[in-house]
Amino acid sequence: MEDAGAGIVTALGELPPGAILEEAGLARMFNRHPVSIKRAVERGELPPPVRLFGKPTWTVAVILAHLERRLEGAHREREKDRARIARLSP
Protein backbone atom coordinates (compact mmCIF):
# COMPACT_ATOMS: atom_id res chain seq x y z
CA MET A 1 0.00 0.00 0.00
CA GLU A 2 1.06 3.57 -0.67
CA ASP A 3 2.19 5.77 2.18
CA ALA A 4 -0.76 7.97 3.16
CA GLY A 5 1.49 11.05 3.14
CA ALA A 6 3.50 12.26 0.17
CA GLY A 7 2.90 9.03 -1.79
CA ILE A 8 -0.62 10.03 -2.71
CA VAL A 9 0.41 13.06 -4.72
CA THR A 10 3.34 11.19 -6.23
CA ALA A 11 1.16 8.28 -7.31
CA LEU A 12 -1.42 10.57 -8.94
CA GLY A 13 1.29 12.72 -10.50
CA GLU A 14 3.04 9.76 -12.05
CA LEU A 15 -0.05 8.63 -13.93
CA PRO A 16 -1.03 10.21 -17.26
CA PRO A 17 -3.93 12.70 -16.98
CA GLY A 18 -6.22 10.41 -18.96
CA ALA A 19 -5.58 7.37 -16.78
CA ILE A 20 -8.84 5.87 -15.55
CA LEU A 21 -9.04 4.99 -11.87
CA GLU A 22 -11.70 2.69 -10.48
CA GLU A 23 -12.94 3.12 -6.94
CA ALA A 24 -10.97 0.10 -5.66
CA GLY A 25 -7.74 1.38 -7.21
CA LEU A 26 -8.28 4.85 -5.80
CA ALA A 27 -8.92 3.32 -2.38
CA ARG A 28 -5.62 1.42 -2.61
CA MET A 29 -3.81 4.56 -3.74
CA PHE A 30 -5.14 6.55 -0.77
CA ASN A 31 -4.66 3.56 1.56
CA ARG A 32 -8.36 3.65 2.44
CA HIS A 33 -11.37 1.37 2.29
CA PRO A 34 -13.65 1.86 -0.76
CA VAL A 35 -16.40 3.08 1.59
CA SER A 36 -14.06 5.91 2.61
CA ILE A 37 -13.82 6.91 -1.05
CA LYS A 38 -17.64 7.04 -1.26
CA ARG A 39 -17.74 9.20 1.87
CA ALA A 40 -15.05 11.52 0.49
CA VAL A 41 -17.25 12.03 -2.58
CA GLU A 42 -20.26 12.78 -0.36
CA ARG A 43 -18.20 15.37 1.57
CA GLY A 44 -16.99 16.96 -1.67
CA GLU A 45 -13.39 15.96 -1.01
CA LEU A 46 -13.37 13.99 -4.26
CA PRO A 47 -15.37 14.76 -7.40
CA PRO A 48 -18.39 12.64 -8.25
CA PRO A 49 -17.45 9.57 -10.27
CA VAL A 50 -18.93 8.38 -13.52
CA ARG A 51 -19.91 4.76 -14.04
CA LEU A 52 -17.89 2.72 -16.46
CA PHE A 53 -18.94 -0.91 -16.82
CA GLY A 54 -20.95 -0.48 -13.64
CA LYS A 55 -18.02 0.73 -11.52
CA PRO A 56 -17.38 4.25 -10.19
CA THR A 57 -14.44 5.74 -12.10
CA TRP A 58 -12.47 8.96 -12.42
CA THR A 59 -9.63 10.20 -14.55
CA VAL A 60 -6.47 11.51 -12.93
CA ALA A 61 -7.07 14.90 -14.56
CA VAL A 62 -10.55 15.22 -13.04
CA ILE A 63 -9.28 14.40 -9.54
CA LEU A 64 -6.35 16.81 -9.79
CA ALA A 65 -8.56 19.60 -11.20
CA HIS A 66 -11.01 19.08 -8.33
CA LEU A 67 -8.19 19.31 -5.78
CA GLU A 68 -6.85 22.46 -7.45
CA ARG A 69 -10.29 24.13 -7.29
CA ARG A 70 -10.58 23.23 -3.60
CA LEU A 71 -7.11 24.61 -2.89
CA GLU A 72 -7.86 27.83 -4.77
CA GLY A 73 -11.11 28.22 -2.82
CA ALA A 74 -9.29 27.68 0.48
CA HIS A 75 -6.71 30.29 -0.53
CA ARG A 76 -9.44 32.83 -1.39
CA GLU A 77 -11.14 32.19 1.96
CA ARG A 78 -7.86 32.61 3.83
CA GLU A 79 -7.20 35.91 2.05
CA LYS A 80 -10.71 37.16 2.86
CA ASP A 81 -10.16 36.25 6.51
CA ARG A 82 -6.79 38.04 6.57
CA ALA A 83 -8.32 41.16 5.02
CA ARG A 84 -11.21 41.11 7.51
CA ILE A 85 -8.84 40.71 10.46
CA ALA A 86 -6.66 43.54 9.13
CA ARG A 87 -9.70 45.83 8.94
CA LEU A 88 -10.72 44.96 12.51
CA SER A 89 -7.22 45.27 14.01
CA PRO A 90 -6.23 48.66 15.49
Digit-by-digit pLDDT tens for the chain (90 residues) are 445 455 666 888 889 999 999 999 999 998 899 999 999 999 999 999 999 999 999 999 999 999 999 999 999 999 999 999 988 887
Which pLDDT does position 13 carry in this prediction?
83
CA distance 71 to 18: 21
Which pLDDT does position 7 carry in this prediction?
60
CA distance 49 to 75: 25
> pTM here?
0.79
Which pLDDT does position 1 carry in this prediction?
44
